[in-house]
Structure 1
Amino acid sequence: MRYAVMLVAVTLVLLLSACSSQLGYRFADTLVEWKLDDYVELNEQQEQRVDTAITSLHYWHATSELPFYAEQLQQLRDQVANKQLDEANLIAVYEQVFVAWQRMLNGLRPYALELLPDLTDAQVKQLMQKLNERQQEERDELAEYDDSALVQRTRKRAEKNARSWLGQLTPLQERLIRSWVTERIPTRALWLDYNEKWQSTFQETLMIRHDTERFTSQLDMLMFEPQQLRSEQLSESIQTNQDATLSLILKLEQSLTDRQRRRVLAKLDGYIEDMRELAEHFRQQGPAN
């Protein structure tokens, strides 16, 4: 899903929080502000308000959410170590990630309700133009590849991700990934259709940003119930692909060699340590004035 102004910040902070680079996360607020400049040009007063909001969200995320992520990863790590990972465990992880995402949106909501109505008509126009340009860039990129090429790209990306966790893949693991690629349903075009619908509705929402009641209701739908804008085909495809991915993860975990299992555990340990150290760093530093 695409969010503008403050909504962009959430996505970036979440992505950075999952990164093993402590340096990147510590300066996530600055990186977010740089990214915002790509979408809309704010005046000095707006920049100050956005800076305060991002800094506050960053501190909350570091001190409240990172410890939660570390705890969830620790449980996952122990299950992998004890060869106890099963479908129920993975579904539980997914549900916890969804809950964390909802908490992030709840934390963002008051800032979005405060800051988005402050945009001028010219800023709204600029913002939507940028979003539409990014959307068209993705359309153009998709048009460059036929179905066979897209499948090939998906397979290579999946193998690269698997190697980053497991190291050299076994023939069985390579076959599992190839099978997964053929089972999953291509959804990029469907997602682009959904994004266009979301952006169109978002633009309509910004047009009524000074009508507090209607604006709040519409923005809440876009943030918390965007699935209403998805096509039935996209929703069904998402579920099919999630099921296929769940099955792949379980089969790959069951196929791990001893060396690969040690590598996975070491990588999880690294993420856990980084998140705990970052949380402690921000707690000691305290909220910015």
Structure 2
Amino acid sequence: MQQLTSMIMQKQRWLKTLLASVLILALTACTAKLMYRNLDWAVLEFIEDYVTLDGDQEEILELQLNQFTQWHKTEELPRYEAQLRSLYDTDLSLVDEEFLIEQHQIFRTHIKRLANEITPELYSLSHSMSKEQIDEFLLNLTEQHNDYSEKYSQMSEREARVRYKERIEKILRRWLGTLSIEQKSIAYQWSSSIERTHQDWAAYRVETRDRVKTMFARRDDPFFYQEELTTLINNPEQGYSNELKGKLERNRALANQSILAILSTASVEQKQHFKQEVADWLELVQELQSD
């Protein structure tokens, strides 16, 4: 069984990468089950890539993550199951832009609930960090940002378009199977028209890092500290520039138009392939709930 859609993993910074991993994306089925059943360990390992925790912090965080994973299993997995059932029952021939927008919004709601639920744990952990831990965290965050900027700034226009096309076709093959010549042509036009956002994201990352630095510097102001941390986690879009917002909106509209064009040419075999993919993920979510 292949990956669940990776469309929402585009353009998300480190926290959303963490939260998206909770949704068992970008994993094979067996790995997904192993990841989910050991989610507390995986999250702890992820956090320690940024900051070294002491024994007390690890113990407290482990207890909090146990509660979080239980909440996710009982509250969130049924919501994922409901969305998957809706997708399974969908006739691809009847999908319109309204349906795509609705599915995107449902997924965004999943993410926002996760962010809201984990905010108290992250607040507690960040508030307990020493100056040395804060310095380590900011250093690792800066290094990650620099790696991102260097990676994408060195990518030529042609390389970027090739990468877009490869990613798009890879996702389409996973959900539809073998693509027709016409569908590949649509994918090519889609990849050729995407507005690049790497510079916008680099600027956003720098601004976010500076906000985090200011937040820690004002940790003695509990109202500001809690409000800023909550905003960074639950409403990151607030920091997007108008230019970035415009590009994201246009790219999303382009994606919807391209997806609809591709689905309008879907064969019977491709529709069956899509239904089986959804069925496999539906089975996985049900299995995780019964564990």
Which residue in the other structure is 1:77 paired with?
88
How far 1:11 sits from its partner (Å)? 4.1
Distance in 2 (alpha carbons) for counterparts of 1:277 and 1:44: 34
How far 1:119 sits from its partner (Å)? 0.5
2:209 aligned with 1:231, yes or no?
no
**After the TM superposition, which of the residue ranges 44-53 and 17-26 deviates more from structure 2?**
17-26
Which residue in the other structure is 2:114 paired with?
104
Which residue in the other structure is 1:43 paired with?
54
2:23 aligned with 1:10, yes or no?
no
Distance in 2 (alpha carbons) for counterparts of 1:175 and 1:257: 16
Distance in 1 (alpha carbons) for counterparts of 2:143 and 2:254: 33
**What are structure 2's unaligned runs of at least 5 residues?**
1-11
One of 65, 69, 72 as aligned partner of 1:61:
72
How far 1:171 sits from its partner (Å)? 0.6
Conservation of the 8 A alpha-carbon contact between 2:24 and 2:35:
no
Moved over 4 A (4+): 15-19
Please give the residue correspondences for 1:78-227 in structure 2 after superposition, counting only pairs within 5 Å: 78-80=89-91, 83-227=93-237
CA distance 1:207–1:136, shift in 2 (3 Å): same
2:262 aligned with 1:248, yes or no?
no
TM-score with structure 1 setting the length = 0.90
How far 1:84 sits from its partner (Å)? 2.7
Distance in 2 (alpha carbons) for counterparts of 1:86 and 1:69: 21
CA distance 1:2–1:206, shift in 2 (3 Å): farther
How far 1:279 sits from its partner (Å)? 1.5
Distance in 1 (alpha carbons) for counterparts of 2:51 and 2:134: 8
- Identity within the alignment, %: 24
TM-score with structure 2 setting the length = 0.89
**After the TM superposition, which of the residue ranges 241-250 and 25-34 deviates more from structure 2?**
25-34
How far 1:3 sits from its partner (Å)? 4.9
CA RMSD of superposed structures (Å) = 1.9
How far 1:150 sits from its partner (Å)? 0.8
**What are structure 1's unaligned runs of at least 5 residues?**
282-289
Which residue in the other structure is 2:7 paired with?
none
Higher relative contact order (CA 8 A, sep 6+): 1
CA distance 1:19–1:110, shift in 2 (3 Å): farther
